Amino acid sequence: MRIEVHWDRCIGAGQCVMAAAEVFDQDDDEGYVLLLDATPQESLTEASRHAARLCPASAIQLHDE
């Protein structure tokens, strides 16, 4: 799986960080999503999918490879 984030859509809700802190973080200035790992290991797949579903702005896009 490959993850793509759209910073222009992010509203800084932080749901992604709470769901998958190993994959996502928030910047200190605006609180927007930071992608820590664009190709997370398989053990983080479900948490990453959950984070994408929780995002109120649909700023996280998952690509199965």
Residue range 3-9: mean pLDDT, rounded: 96
**What does the pLDDT look like over 20-48, one tens digit per residue?**
999 999 999 999 999 999 999 999 999 99
Q: Alpha helix (H) ranges present in the chain? A: 15-19, 45-54
The CATH number of residue 18's host domain is 3.30.70.20
Domains held by the chain: number: 1
What pLDDT is stored for residue 4 in this prediction? 98
- For residue 19, what are its two tokens? 């769901």
Q: What is the DSSP-derived secondary structure letter of residue 39?
A: S
The pTM (predicted TM-score) of the whole model is: 0.93
Range(s) of the domain holding residue 46? 2-63
What pLDDT is stored for residue 65 in this prediction? 77
